[in-house]
Amino acid sequence: MPICIYSTKFRVPLPEKAFDRLLSELAEACRIKALAAKRWQDSQAIVISRHLLKKALQDHGETVDLRNLSYSPYGRPFLTGGPEFNWSHSGNRVVCAISRDSRLGIDIEWIRPLELSDFQDLFSVPEWDRIMYSGNPTRYFYEEWTGKEAVLKADGRGLSGNIRNVKRINRNETALDDERWFLHKIGLSEDYACQLASKLKKPVFFYHNIDIDLQIPN
């Protein structure tokens, strides 16, 4: 099975009735998280990411109640006996990756100006030099950052892991502790960086751009 990438974007809030309907299908903890988000974009993305996963699982012959997903001690969601999957969101973009062939992690970041020096201590000297001398430090920073986050998510530790421990070996390979992961750049648009980490060196990718409005039940 290839790695399938599902993506969607939104520009305005979902209609209230539609949002409430989607929200009602989620676990209580997820509903609380969505409703507590300070920005409406984050609230929408939390809900939409779960329903993008549902669409991906349905396409792969899985029937799942989103309220019954299992979670690792680090909070990584999984489906017992089902395919591997992972999701991410930033700005108005949501992505979900799914595969039966490899554990995986995906991370997306909206590329916007930031003070790069605030993050220097999270990178090794060679990594930081590559960012600074890349010709486009801001974009390259986000490429490196999403790669590290994708590895932590594939490993399972996610935000609880130390991003400093993810070390670049070469252009497409990284290591976390003694475990190696391959990185794959996912091109969605010029204003986003997205990387996927997996155990597959040369996977086949299938891309699905989803119109979220068409997925909302009437």
Q: Based on DSSP, count helices (H) and strands (E) in the chain, helices before strands.
A: 6, 11
Q: Which residues lie below 8 Å from residue 215, measured CB to CB, with a gap of 6+? A: 51, 55
Cβ–Cβ under 8 Å, residues 14 and 44: yes
Residue 139 exposure: Cα atoms within 13 Å on the Cβ side: 9
Q: Residue 23: pLDDT band by 50, 70, 90 thresholds?
A: very high
pLDDT value at residue 167: 87
3-211 is classed CATH 3.40.50.880: no
Closest by CA position to 47, among listed 72, 70, 20: 20
Q: Which residues lie below 8 Å from residue 14, measured CB to CB, with a gap of 6+? A: 22, 44, 47, 212, 216
pLDDT value at residue 116: 95
Please state whether 91 falls in left (phi above 0), alpha (psi between -120 and 50) or beta.
left
Instruction: Give CA angle at 28 (22, 32), nearest 5°.
Output: 85
CA distance 158 to 161: 6
Whether pLDDT at 156 is above 90: no
Q: DSSP label at 61?
A: T
Q: Is the pTM of this model over 0.85?
A: yes
Which of residues 203 and 80 earns the better pLDDT score?
203
Cβ–Cβ under 8 Å, residues 59 and 19: no
Whether pLDDT at 215 is above 70: no
Cβ–Cβ under 8 Å, residues 46 and 33: yes
Q: pLDDT tens, 91-102?
A: 999 999 999 989
For the chain, give the mean pLDDT.
90
pLDDT value at residue 81: 85
Give the least confident one: 9-18, 88-97, 158-167: 158-167
CA distance 85 to 154: 9
Give residue limits of the domains in the chain: 3-211
Rounded mean pLDDT of 21-42? 93
Which of residues 114 and 82 earns the better pLDDT score?
114
